[in-house]
A and B are shown apart, each in its own frame.
Chain A
Amino acid sequence: MNLQIEPSVIVFLLASIGAISSALLVIEHKSIVYASFFLAMLGASNATLFVLLGYPVVSIFHLVVYVGAAVTFILFSVVMMREAPLVEPKARGIAIIAAVEILLVFSVGFWPLLRSEPIGGVISLEDVSDLLLNKYSFALLVAALALATTMIEAITLARREVSE
């Protein structure tokens, strides 16, 4: 009996277990600093899954922009704040029911895709940049404007004087 497991399956199992356990630790860890660190771990696990799906460019972008910049920004910001554990016990039952219901509905809803393999091959930087500059140029322009607006908004909020 030949029990050969493909390397991609092992990588998928490690990445998905890493992603789900990191997601749980983001929610449940007492310290927000450690929770932010586990969000970075979640981003790294997700980037591994993107490579398995054939999106290495998106994976690198996710690691650089999301994990490297955004999550690190949260990490350094939350160091300045103290947080008491603020949990809403009344909502816990409803939240568990909602989460389990969504998990069941979608796992049954996605069942027809059980045999659907992702198309092989890799999406290159050329493919993505060509699409962004030609087909989705308006969306790129709107995203650039949104980024500029949020940057101004963030600076204005952070520099706002607090009256004693």
Chain B
Amino acid sequence: MTAYWFLLTSVAMFCIGLYGLLTRRSLIRMLLSAEVIFNGALLALLSTASLSPAFRPAGGALALLAISLAAAEIGVIVSVAILMFRLRKSLDVYELRGE
């Protein structure tokens, strides 16, 4: 199985996530779309890293850092969503800017 098919899968995930991010107005739905993009980007990182013997372990180390930071990002955005729901009783991001 060549790296091309892994990269194609990652690009498909990225495109699906991008579509979700552009079309949804709910904060949680936008977070879920961003997480789909993150999963695609992580797969692309590891697919390209697996092609070079020099970069291969570094790709794994970067992936571990990226996963832990993504988990932290989820914690913050869900906290913002909980606070927003308590204040506005809605998750519509348009309400954040007063529309």
Contacts and interface: CB of A to CB of B under 8 A. Distances in A.
Nearest to A9: B1
Interface size class of B (residues with CB under 8 A): 35 or more
A32 B2 CA distance: 35
B35 to A, nearest CB: 6
Interface in B1-48: 1-9, 11-20, 22-26, 28-29, 31-33, 35-36, 39-40, 42-43, 46-47
Contacts of A74: 28, 31-32, 74, 78
Nearest to A112: B4
A16 B23 CA distance: 24
Contact of B75 (A43, A131, A132, A154): A154
A35 to B, nearest CB: 6
Interface in A117-158: 117-119, 123, 127-128, 131-132, 135-136, 139-140, 143, 146-147, 150-151, 153-155, 157-158
28 contacts: A8-B1, A19-B43, A32-B26, A58-B46, A58-B63, A62-B67, A73-B78, A77-B78, A77-B82, A83-B26, A83-B91, A87-B24, A91-B23, A103-B15, A107-B11, A113-B7, A116-B51, A118-B6, A119-B50, A119-B51, A119-B53, A123-B60, A128-B57, A131-B61, A143-B68, A147-B72, A153-B76, A157-B79
Interface of A: 6, 8-9, 12, 16, 19-20, 23-24, 26-27, 32, 35-36, 39, 42-43, 46, 49-50, 52-55, 57-58, 61-62, 65-66, 69-71, 73-74, 77-78, 80-81, 83-88, 91-92, 94-96, 98-100, 102-103, 106-107, 110-111, 113-119, 123, 127-128, 131-132, 135-136, 139-140, 143, 146-147, 150-151, 153-155, 157-158, 160, 162
